[in-house]
A and B are shown apart, each in its own frame.
Chain A
């Protein structure tokens, strides 16, 4: 039994502790949700534009993590510089993958493209396991280097707040890009109707590459935020966050940018808050709750929370 969490007592001390605990866990959920949201955006944008679930996206995040690690340990670069460099390289990797693995299959069946994506994912994981060994590597910068902030009874690491802030800023910038900037608006157009966009004279190949580029950049930023909090780098580290981000994207409405943002934060919160409030003996159920919610949402709203089910008018 955990003391101070009982919500049925109503003395003011209990109420204050209850609020403190709630806020702490809420922030924890927002932090991991930020990372899911950033990765989910990559999935959703790629799906929106070419209707492909890019299973290799988690591996782009993992590649970025390795890049940042090597730039910091082998080249002695500071964290921000290493991240910027890693982002550029991840963008190149993402665009390359699209060029080599997916472009030719744009007219092929969706299944072929899906299988290719899985193949790319496995290839990258195995390649890194061979090149760098599967032994976990310690990342040189951890959240311990950042101060712990106190407000009353609430203690929280500055890095948690930094993660949330960076993610929110990046998402605002992305939203501005797709609504104001010409290339961003073109991306939305291609998502609506690929063939129509060709006819309108939009350079579709370029827009697709740009989409992969942005998605990869977001994954690299997510990687940077992730490895400071969880400083262990392995070739398989992108797999679980990748799957969760994919679920988040589907939850919010696959293909919709606001959907990925909502889905990511929601998933992080559900994961954390369920675990925070159910008894420890059944704590493993919290893993299952996320999937149950996904099933429920899809049963009631198949296009996701923000998705619109469009009926084809014949």
Chain B
């Protein structure tokens, strides 16, 4: 009988500690807003009146693409801090309210609603990846809320409404330029593609790449796909190898890209890789691990290159390094530019009326870190595209192309 009593005590203790763990985990799981408070901390008034101007932000600060979310958010915060130090906009300090959407579209739309209804912002900077950005843009179009995405590259984002802008080039441009790159720079004749069929971004790049290759006379010997939950690509890569591909277009995000490259080596496929800005971040420690040269030989389209001697870029890079104790990736620069573009639009509008801001954005002439930017008729920027080559475990600038080349 003594044995079963101590067993009972043991079990009770275990159950109680389990219950405590449950309680602890149920707190703090809701997306918590992080605000940069102005001096007086006035949060009651809506965005237009009161002593602050509220700007909202959406970003994946955790999850599969957190590298991008954190970078964009850091860039935006740096820009807003600098502006606030120089007197703010329209004579008022900017209050920046950002929500973590965890890389999920549903979370993003919920967070956007919170920004509009609860926090009453005058403008939104977000989202970061294409899928959630499209969903948020749909809502913003309904609300006539001025919205700029720093890094969402799908063409569908700005198609949602006249109030939706972006700071980066669109997917069509990336895929298109890579097709030209294969034909004119690499001078190869047979290309293959391995893309994520369940992602808007990958699909968009693939379609544009395929179209340009056909124009330039490059043969697509294999066009293989996978879906987001897949981790094994050896079947597709074996097909691609057997088809005789000379170059492989891998237009996906960094986590999948490094897996694809590694598995390609396992099946004996040894060709140059091409991709889009989703490659950025692939050399991060927690993505590539200790085998740092595995991504060598990859070219990808990106928003700028770290070794570009442009003065505005370099001063941004050192300010970022000082503020966050890490190197900026292109998403940070885009966040910085997007924030500054929205702020400049508000300043030029003279007030926080939505239509005035949107009008100012349309006519904006902005000199930024990622280039000199004006908008075309579809609210997409006309700017330069950098082609990055990964060499010896480093990003290097290979060449630059114009987005309308």
Contact = CB atoms under 8 A, between A and B. Distances in A.
Given A136-B255, A156-B267, A229-B263, A2 B243 contact: yes
Contacts of B11: 100
A127 B291 CA distance: 29
B232 A280 contact: no
Given A100-B14, A136-B255, A148 B265 contact: yes
B235 A157 contact: no
Contact of B63 (A100, A135, A232): A135
Contact of A148 (B66, B266, B285): B266
A285 to B, nearest CB: 12
B55 to A, nearest CB: 27
A134 interface: yes
A197 interface: no
A150 interface: yes
Given A4-B244, A25-B235, A229-B263, A135 B289 contact: no
Contacts of B227: 284, 287
Interface in A223-249: 229-232, 237, 240
B259 A134 contact: no
B271 to A, nearest CB: 13
A14 to B, nearest CB: 12
Interface string A157-185: 10110000000000000000000000000
Interface size class of A (residues with CB under 8 A): 35 or more
B99 to A, nearest CB: 17
A284 B225 CA distance: 8
Nearest to A28: B234
Contact of A280 (B223, B234, B244): B223
Nearest to B223: A280
Contacts of B291: 140, 142, 144-145
B84 interface: no
A135 B262 CA distance: 20
A185 to B, nearest CB: 29
Nearest to A143: B266
Contact of B294 (A144, A155, A229): A144
A279 to B, nearest CB: 10
B398 interface: no
Contacts of A237: 231
A295 to B, nearest CB: 21
Interface stretch (A16-24, A49-57, A187-195, A251-259): A16-24
B116 interface: no
A148 B268 contact: yes
A32 interface: yes
Given A144-B265, A157-B265, A275-B235, A240 B229 contact: yes
A276 B25 contact: no
Given A3-B221, A137-B286, A140-B289, A20 B242 contact: yes
A93 B152 CA distance: 43
Interface in A110-135: 126-127, 130, 133-135
A283 interface: yes
A139 interface: yes
Contacts of A84: none
Nearest to B25: A130
Contact of A276 (B66, B197, B223, B238): B238
A272 interface: yes
A286 to B, nearest CB: 9
B236 interface: yes
Interface in B271-307: 285-291, 294
B222 interface: yes
B107 interface: no
A127 B25 CA distance: 8
Interface string B47-72: 00000000000000011101000000
Interface string B210-252: 0000000000011111010101101110110011100000000
Given A17-B242, A280-B224, A280-B239, 10 more contacts: A3-B221, A3-B244, A24-B242, A135-B66, A138-B286, A139-B289, A144-B266, A155-B268, A229-B232, A287-B227
Interface of A: 2-5, 17, 20-21, 24-25, 28-29, 31-32, 100, 126-127, 130, 133-140, 142-145, 148, 150, 155-157, 159-160, 229-232, 237, 240, 272, 275-276, 280, 283-284, 287
14 contacts: A21-B238, A21-B239, A28-B232, A28-B238, A28-B267, A133-B62, A135-B66, A135-B286, A138-B286, A140-B289, A142-B262, A144-B262, A155-B267, A232-B259
